[in-house]
Amino acid sequence: MEQGDIWDADVALRYDTPGTGMFAPEVLGPTVDRLARLAEGGAALEFAIGTGRVAVPLAGRGVPVAGIELSPSMVERLRTKADEATIPVIIGDMATTTAPGEYTLVYLVYNTIANLLTQAEQVACFRNAARHLGPGGRFVVELWVPELRKLPPGQPAVVCRSDPGYILLDTYDTLRQHVVSHHFHFDGTRQAELFRTPHRYVWPAELDLMAQLAGFELESRHADWDGTAFTAESRSHVSVYRLPPSP
């Protein structure tokens, strides 16, 4: 299934969970705070802008925000919160689609670069970010660290979360660096709803090499948006890459 088919109208309608999950203030607040600082008064471009989870509050902080998004259904949901004049969005693939203008910040949050399922597409995404930035511009990527240490030899799957009404099961293809997340939702009956999302996982070192190929240097890496130190035990990272400034 193509990524554009996954993020359809039904998924877009259920995507927003105001006040909880990735929309919780303790998750969203530090994200917006950090991005606003990194923009340094310039304009920001969000790859895979979705329903505007980050873009809407960031624009509310006075940062001009534009977006690129593959799913028209997600953009329709965004339009219930902000019009085209406030947050312009180009429909297309974040690896190749361009938006007009020059930006001081391009950002990709919540593991979205992993939605590109080949290394070549992920490298192209870095190059596309560089294409939109002026000298000294930054590209920010939020991504999880593959948890292959949880995977015993011969076992292709691991349970990532088990909450009342929800189970997340990941199945791995370590040869291709692919993982499929299986989201099981239970509504109190005997029936369950299954939603699958494919990803290509990326190690931090591989991500850094992609950045170098696009002309970036790693400026900082933390375990979260609050600036917690990144260690071997960190389960995710926020990596800030920067283009060289003008001579």
Q: Residue 115: how many CA atoms within 13 Å on its side-chain side?
A: 27
Could you give the strand order of the β-sheet that contains 192-200, starting from the edge strand earlier in sequence? 157-163, 166-173, 178-186, 192-200
pLDDT at 191 over 80: no
* Least confident range of 2-16, 96-110, 139-153, 163-177: 2-16
pLDDT at 97 over 80: yes
Residues 109-153 pLDDT 10s: 999 999 999 999 999 999 999 999 999 999 999 999 988 877 778
The CATH number of the domain covering residues in 3-146+202-242: 3.40.50.150
The answer to whether the CB of 150 falls within 8 A of the CB of 172 is no
Q: What is the reported pTM?
A: 0.88
pLDDT of residue 12: 64
Among the listed residues 2, 6, 26, the one whose alpha carbon sits nearest the alpha carbon of residue 14: 6
**185: β partners:** 166, 193
Q: Strands 65-69, 44-47: parallel, antiparallel or unpaired by DSSP?
A: parallel
Tell me the average pLDDT across 4-19. Answer: 67
Distance, CA of 194 to CA of 58 (rounded, Å)? 32
Amino acid found at 190: R
Residues 220-243 pLDDT 10s: 999 999 999 999 999 999 999 999
Cβ-Cβ contacts under 8 Å for 131 (sequence gap 6 or more): 98
pLDDT of residue 159: 83
Tell me the average pLDDT across 6-33. Answer: 78
Q: Two tokens at 180?
A: 């499929």
Residues 28-43 pLDDT 10s: 999 999 999 999 999 9
pLDDT of residue 208: 98
Alpha helix ranges (H) inside the chain: 3-6, 9-15, 25-39, 55-60, 72-78, 119-132, 204-213
Alpha helix ranges (H) inside 119-236: 119-132, 204-213
Q: Two tokens at 234?
A: 């960190």
Q: How confident is the model at residue 2 (pLDDT cuts 50, 70, 90)?
A: very low
- Specify the DSSP element, H or E, that contains 8: none
Q: Tokens 């509050």 belong to which residue?
A: 57
